[in-house]
Amino acid sequence: MSEGQIRQSLSGFYDVFSDGELYRTRARGNFRKRRITPLVGDRVQFESSSPKEGYILEILPRDNALTRPPVANIDQGVVVTAVASPEFSTNLLDRQLIALEISNITPVIYFTKTDLIPDERYQEFETLAAGYRQIGYDVCLTREPFAESGLDELRGLLADKVTVIMGQTGAGKSTLLNHISPDLTLATGEISTALNRGKHTTRKVSLMPVAGGLVADTPGFSSYDTLTIGYRELGQYFPEFALASRECRFRGCVHLNEPGCAVKDGVEAGQFMQSRYDTYLQLLTLLKNQKPVYNKKK
């Protein structure tokens, strides 16, 4: 029996990477009975008589998993964010960051389309980037789009990690991947259509070696549309608020109207970004009004 990592799934076959070799395997029949689906990124135990034939016997415990794209054990998510066209929104960016925090995936922010904005607007983004860096996020922002310094920074972050690339349609996800690794030659804008070309096409999901790490080839991560957490938990997914909340007068403070709230004090003192607090309040209201979902499939 060997141990390896699923690098690709295609029509019920799983390519498992182990000791420098790829083995084509299938999942044992009892997986289906137990309603377990192996995911790309899973660490597995398998046996094989040849590189073309083998069986996955067991899936080792996952650190995390996403449904779109269906990948497990992800270290980080690069949020590709256009500064214009589509119009930039701190709210959307924050929601993407929160979705990653909830999934226990480290966020990285990469700004694109910086050539479309004038210098004074770019200055505003430098201030914004500094705010996100202060929280602890890695941020790639360069005056020239896809400047080598920003790409090098990102390549350094990709090394030895499993990464998903996410962002709005038109933000430049495929273009970014093409710049990082020109030998990939992903047809810009054609990826998602190729992947979703009707219900009968086979969904191929794979991890591609890029810059010394592995990148999920489906830039389709969009699981930030619904949040499935209670409103009292929300603050813990804003790292700067989670840290400050230890100083709040009341345990379980939701940073709304409570006296002695360190988060509100921090916002007023300019220690925290007003835009982050605004997103927090909006999501808090949303979650408070959300009907509880029972029997929700995980």
Q: Which residues are annotated as a binding site for Zn(2+)?
A: 248, 253, 255, 261
175, pLDDT greater than 60: yes
pLDDT level of residue 87 (50, 70, 90 thresholds): very high
Helix (H), strand (E), coil (C) string for the chain:
CEEEEEEEEECCEEEEEECCEEEEEEECHHHHHCCCCCCECCEEEEEEEECCEEEEEEECCCCCECCCCCEECCCEEEEEEECCCCCCCHHHHHHHHHHHHHCCCEEEEEEECHHHCCHHHHHHHHHHHHHHHHHCCEEECCCCCCCHHHHHHHHHHHCCCEEEEECCCCCCHHHHHHHHCHHHCCCCCCHHHHHCCCCCCCCCEEEEEECCEEEECCCCECCCCCCCCCHHHHHHHCHHHHHHHHHCCCCCCCCCCCCCCHHHHHHHCCCCCHHHHHHHHHHHHHHHHCCCCCCCCC
Q: What is the pLDDT of residue 189?
A: 44
Identify the weakest region by mean pLDDT among 28-37, 210-219, 286-295: 286-295
Residues annotated within the binding site are 112-115, 167-175, 248, 253, 255, 261
Residue positions in the annotated binding site for GTP?
112-115, 167-175
Domains, the chain, in order of start with CATH, read 2-59 (2.40.50.140), 76-216 (3.40.50.300), 231-289 (1.10.40.50)
Q: For 1-22, how does the pLDDT look when each residue is reduced to its tens digit (9 = 90+)?
A: 999 999 999 988 999 999 999 9
- 42-51, 178-187, 275-284: which range is least confident on average? 178-187
* pLDDT at res. 69: 80
Task: Please say if the pLDDT value at position 90 is more than 50.
Answer: yes
Tell me: pLDDT of 272 over 60. Answer: yes
pLDDT tens-digit readout, 96-122: 999 899 999 999 999 999 999 999 999
